[in-house]
């Protein structure tokens, strides 16, 4: 019997081995597929060069900047909407109207306004990040135990104090989960912008590899992008566990 810990590794290992054997045996020449060994070689080649790191830096810079701006806006609006029922109801139609617009659709607008480069991408990423943060932090604030809000009233806390001392700490675990979601959206949107049109970052690198008909390099970049996504998410999960411990995870983490 295979020990439980090794089970997850079996399928990928078998697939990779089978793929390697098949490409070598058929002596495949292809623009789209390459043997895993070639991919690994290309990965090493890319990692030791400078381009991969520059591209990674560019993508992460846009991702994090857009995430910061979008989350800040989404969070403030979300908290305000969560606290004030009046504000929430008045803004309903406006939010429901703007929210369904896919962030990518704004790409051409940002393009003609800001041209190629960082700024355009940051704007798109920020727009995409506003919505999950807004919706989920609004829900987090709305889900605060009403008893706590009564305590705030009884203690006669000023609105500012109420937000600082009760609302934010109580809603923080769920807000952090929203932030994690926004972060993965940020990376996806950034890479998508780069693939679609922007000539910087990892998206541009993978497209360039494809256009140069270097399947091994292209797949290496694919794996690298996946790794970045995984590390980003894992890092935030770790932060969440350290900051909030198991109490936060009990609150219905996705």
Report d(CA 100, CA 214) in Å as an integer: 37
Question: Which residue lies nearer to another protein by CB, 112 or 160?
Answer: 112
Q: Are 149 and 194 in contact (CB under 8 A)?
A: no
Based on the shown chain and the rule CB under 8 A, indicate whether residue 25 belongs to the binding site for another protein.
Answer: no
Among positions 123, 201, 225, 244, the unique one binding another protein when judged by CB under 8 A = 225
Binders of another protein among residues 50 to 109 (CB under 8 A) are 89-94, 96-98, 100-109
- Of the pair 4, 246, the CB lying nearest another protein is at 4
Q: Is 122 one of the binding residues for another protein (CB under 8 A)? A: no
Closer of 102 and 199 to another protein (Cβ)? 102
- From the list 26-34, 38-46, 68-76, 147-155, the region that binds another protein by CB under 8 A is 26-34
Does 8 sit near another protein (CB under 8 A)?
Answer: yes
Which residue, 168 or 222, is less far from another protein as judged by CB? 222
Pick from 1, 3, 11, 29 the residue near another protein by CB under 8 A.
11
Q: Does 229 bind another protein (CB under 8 A)?
A: yes
Is residue 163 involved in binding another protein (CB under 8 A)?
no
Residue 91 beta carbon to another protein: minimum distance, rounded to whole angstroms: 7
Triad 70, 76, 81: Cα angle to 5°: 120
Instruction: Enumerate binding residues for another protein (CB under 8 A).
Output: 4, 7-8, 10-12, 30-32, 89-94, 96-98, 100-109, 111-113, 184, 187-188, 191-192, 195-197, 203, 206-207, 209-210, 213, 215, 218-219, 221-222, 225-226, 229-230, 232-233
């Amino acid at each position: 019997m295979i020990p439980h810990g090794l089970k997850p590794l079996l399928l990928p290992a078998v697939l990779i081995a089978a793929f390697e054997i098949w490409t070598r045996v058929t002596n495949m020449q292809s623009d789209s597929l390459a043997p895993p060994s070639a991919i690994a070689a290309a990965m090493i080649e890319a990692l030791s060069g400078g381009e991969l790191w520059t591209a990674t830096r560019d993508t992460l810079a846009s991702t994090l900047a857009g995430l910061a701006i979008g989350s800040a806006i989404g969070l403030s609006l979300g908290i305000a909407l969560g606290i004030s029922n009046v504000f929430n109801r008045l803004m309903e139609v406006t939010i429901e109207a703007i929210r369904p617009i896919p962030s990518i659709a704004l790409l051409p607008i940002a393009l003609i306004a800001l041209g190629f480069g960082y700024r355009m991408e940051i704007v798109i990423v920020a727009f995409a990040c506003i919505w999950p943060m807004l919706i989920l932090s609004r829900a987090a604030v709305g889900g605060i135990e009403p008893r706590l809000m009564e305590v705030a009233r009884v203690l006669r806390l000023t609105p500012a104090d109420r937000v600082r001392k009760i609302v934010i700490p109580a809603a923080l675990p769920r807000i952090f989960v929203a932030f994690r979601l926004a972060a993965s959206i940020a990376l996806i949107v950034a890479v998508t912008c780069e693939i679609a049109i922007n000539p910087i970052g990892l998206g541009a690198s993978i497209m360039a590899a494809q256009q140069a008909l270097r399947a091994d390099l292209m797949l290496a970049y694919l794996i690298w992008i996946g790794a970045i996504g995984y590390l980003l998410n894992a890092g935030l999960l770790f932060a969440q566990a350290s900051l909030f411990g198991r109490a936060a995870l009990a609150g219905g983490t996705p």
